[in-house]
Structure formats: structure tokens, C-alpha cells
């Protein structure tokens, strides 16, 4: 199975992440009659971010359902439809709205398979947009992805490139489990090559976005861009950064994370979500538990400050990690660990 567009066979087309997601939905809806889409504004309007544009015209209102504002029931109905043999894909407009459906996600979708002794499967996908950004404010710009790793049974994906958006979403729709797909506001518009054929990226496999020997930054989503910008700046200072993009938060790709840090022996975990009890805490703990003796310095976390996401740009900038912060953290580790 191909991990990057370079390894994929067949032709490649340049497109933005929204288009890649849309092409994937079209592709799988045409191939599998069990797949249908529902959500607020997904049919006539084509989705708040245009991801489902054109699906109504192609597949009809029987398979592309505009819904009232009822997040809890949408996800709950998807659970029932999935148990009864369908493959629903639900769009939730903001990750902030997932908590409305927490019971259906955490106590129903996630648990049905295990708690029925494996007699019930819940193959469904919940797509949502996330990112802490100016103007979003406390109810429209949460990064709550880390909260969902507490619920065994959910799979969680977070594509970073348009190719991964296709590959991961296709895997998610075909997966026999409930999959939460976090789509970053910061990545929607970025263009990249996307394989046109049946291209899947396995869930649970991270990607090394940038190879380096001095220090590993483990990150995901929109933070991959900031890590990359920091790595460019650090290159000029002679520091060689490796970037591990998680792509899947559940299950976590322990092997790739530990493999990279075992090589570089220095690690920063960078996350847009809250630091306290978040995915960065989990990964930092995992690294020190497994590689303590090999590490040349502490595993450093850079993540969001413990405040609700604010509205005004300077307040947002102060809350979420920036490139300067990453560079400073690397320099502190570099001095302590004597990168030459």
C-alpha cells in the first residue's frame, strides 16, 4: 500500500485538500452504494467549506442529505445506519460541535463493537473542520482532537496533504470502525499532487515529512507547516530537523515515532491542542518511557496555552504555538545537547 503520492501508481492531479476530499467522496459513492453523506448544508450548498459540492447533483437527495441542526442525532443516526449495513459519512462544521454528540461518539459509536462481544460493527465517518484561528472564538475554533483519544474504539485521522486527505478518507470509509476525521482550516486551501486511482493511506501509520538527524518534531495537522518553517530556519543554523506527521491519532504509530527519536535522540512534541492531558502529553510520556536512556535532553512539549480559544488575533497568536517558539525550544535543546 502506497504511503505517499510518489509511490502511487497511475496518474496524479494537482488539487487542494477540499477537492481531494470531494473527489474521494465521489469516487467511493460511485463505487459503493452503501456510502451516503449527511450534514448541515452539505447538499444544496455543497458544505460550509465546499467539500460536498456537486454530490447532490450526481447522487441525488437520497444519498446526500441536508439536515437540520441536530449534531447529536446526526451522529446517532449514523451509528444506527452503520449497524444496519450502510456506510454513512457525516459532516460536522466545527470540531467545537462534536461535544454536542459526545454520548453518541464516546458511549455508542466507540463501544458497540467491543461491548457486544464483536457482534456489531459501526463503520462510519465523522468529518469535521478544526483549527484555532482569529475570529473563530470560543465556540468556533477548538482543537479538541486530543480529547477523543480517551475513547477506545474510535479511530482518529488528521490528514496534512491533499494526497493523505484522499488516502486516509478512503481508508476511513472502508474501515469497519467509527473514524473521526479532523480537517485543518489551515490546510484546506493548500495544493498538492493527488493520485487519481484507488489510493489509500493506512490508518495508524505516521509519515516522516522531513528527514533529519539532530532532532525530531512529532506533530500533526496545521502544525506540520509551522514545524517545517522552523526546520527551514534551523537548517541555516546547521541544525537538521526530522518531522514526524502523525496523520492518525488513534491508533498511534508508536513504531515510527520511537524509531525517529531513537535516531535523533532529541524530541519536541508540537500540538495545536491543549498541552494539559493532550496528545502531546501522551506522546512525550511514550517517548521517555521507551527511550529515556537514549535521550540527550528532556522531551519538550509545545502546545496550546490552557485557555479557551479567544477571538482577537493577538490573543490567538499568544495561545497557539508559533514558529519562533519552536526555534527557541530547539535552540535550548541544541545547546543542552550540544548539536554542532
Partner 1 sequence: MLDTAKRKALLRQMILVRAFEEKLEDLYQRKAMFGSTHSYRGQEAIAVGVCSALQPTDLIASYHRGTGHLIAKGADLYRLLCECMGKADGYSKGRGGKMHMGDMAFGFLGNTGTVGGTVPTATGAALAAKVRGSKEVVVSFFGDGAANQGVVHESMNLAGLWKLPVIYVCENNQYAMTVSFEKSVAIKHLSERGAAYGFEGKTIDGNDVEAVYEATEQAAAKGRSGGGATFLECVTYRWDGHFGGDPGTGYRPKEEIEAWKQKCPIKRLKENLIRQGQLTEQEFEKMSAEIYAQLGEVAQRAEAAPLPKKEVDLNSVYATAEVADG
Active site members: 140
Question: Taking the alpha carbons of 332, 255, 142, 323 in that order, is the dihedral positive or negative?
Answer: positive
- Is residue 27 close enough to count as binding partner 1 by CB under 8 A? no
Region of 11-19, 57-65, 127-135, 256-264 interacting with partner 1 (CB under 8 A): 57-65
CA distances (Å), origin 219, targets 207, 226, 257, 270, 283: 10, 10, 10, 5, 10
Beta strands in 40-195 (DSSP E): 64-66, 87-92, 124-130, 155-157, 178-184, 191-195
Judged by CB under 8 A, the residue of 26, 34, 53, 254 near partner 1 is 34
Q: Does 145 bind partner 1 (CB under 8 A)?
A: no
Closest CA to 174 of 28, 65, 37: 28
For residue 203, CA distances in Å to 34, 155, 157, 170, 244 come to: 21, 8, 7, 10, 15
Residue placing its CB nearer to partner 1 in the complex, 78 or 180:
78
Interface with partner 1 by CB under 8 A: which range of 84-92, 136-144, 284-292, 315-323?
84-92
Q: What does the radius of gyration of the chain's CA atoms come to, in whole angstroms?
A: 20
Nearest residue (CB) to partner 1, 49 versus 59:
59
CA–CA separation, 326 and 4 (whole Å): 26
**How far is CA 134 from its chain centroid?**
20
Among 146, 153, 159, 212, binds partner 1 (CB under 8 A): 153
Q: Does 73 bind partner 1 (CB under 8 A)?
A: yes
Told to check if 78 binds partner 1 by CB under 8 A, we report yes
Stretch that binds partner 1, among 1-9, 23-31, 66-74, 229-237 (CB under 8 A): 66-74
Binding residues for partner 1, rule: CB under 8 A, are 33-34, 36, 62-63, 65, 67-68, 70, 72-73, 75-86, 88, 103-104, 107-108, 111-123, 152-153, 155, 176-177, 251
Amino acid at each position: 500500500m502506497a504511503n505517499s503520492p510518489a509511490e502511487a501508481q497511475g496518474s496524479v492531479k494537482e488539487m487542494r485538500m477540499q477537492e481531494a476530499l470531494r473527489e474521494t467522496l465521489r469516487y467511493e459513492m460511485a463505487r459503493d452504494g452503501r456510502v451516503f453523506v449527511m450534514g448541515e448544508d452539505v447538499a444544496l450548498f455543497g458544505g460550509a467549506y465546499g467539500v460536498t459540492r456537486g454530490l447532490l447533483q450526481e447522487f441525488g437527495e437520497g444519498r446526500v442529505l441536508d439536515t437540520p441542526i441536530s449534531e447529536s442525532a446526526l451522529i446517532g443516526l449514523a451509528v444506527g445506519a452503520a449497524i444496519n449495513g450502510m456506510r454513512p459519512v457525516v459532516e460536522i462544521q466545527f470540531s467545537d460541535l462534536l461535544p454536542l454528540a459526545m454520548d453518541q461518539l464516546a458511549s455508542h459509536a466507540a463501544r458497540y463493537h467491543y461491548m457486544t462481544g464483536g457482534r456489531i460493527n459501526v463503520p462510519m465517518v465523522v468529518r469535521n473542520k478544526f483549527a484555532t484561528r482569529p475570529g473563530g472564538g470560543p465556540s468556533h475554533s477548538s482543537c479538541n482532537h486530543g480529547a477523543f483519544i480517551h475513547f477506545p474504539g474510535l479511530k482518529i485521522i488528521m490528514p496534512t496533504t491533499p494526497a493523505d486527505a484522499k488516502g486516509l478518507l478512503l481508508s476511513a470509509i472502508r474501515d469497519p470502525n467509527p473514524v473521526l476525521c479532523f480537517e485543518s482550516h489551515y490546510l484546506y486551501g493548500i495544493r498538492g499532487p493527488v493520485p487519481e486511482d484507488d489510493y489509500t493511506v493506512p490508518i495508524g501509520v505516521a509519515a516522516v515529512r522531513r528527514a533529519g538527524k539532530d532532532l525530531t518534531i512529532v506533530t500533526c495537522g496545521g502544525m506540520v507547516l509551522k514545524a517545517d518553517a522552523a526546520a527551514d530556519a534551523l537548517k541555516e543554523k546547521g541544525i537538521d530537523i526530522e518531522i514526524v506527521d502523525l496523520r492518525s491519532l488513534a491508533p498511534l504509530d508508536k513504531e515510527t515515532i520511537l524509531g525517529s527519536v531513537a535516531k535523533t535522540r532529541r524530541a519536541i512534541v508540537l500540538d495545536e491542542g491543549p498541552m494539559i492531558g493532550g496528545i502531546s502529553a501522551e506522546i512525550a510520556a511514550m517517548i521517555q518511557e521507551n527511550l529515556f536512556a537514549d535521550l540527550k535532553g528532556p522531551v519538550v512539549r509545545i502546545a496550546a496555552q490552557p485557555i479557551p480559544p479567544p477571538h482577537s488575533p493577538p490573543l490567538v497568536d499568544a495561545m497557539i504555538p508559533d514558529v519562533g517558539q519552536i526555534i527557541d525550544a530547539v535552540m535550548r535543546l541544541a545547546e543542552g545537547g550540544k548539536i554542532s
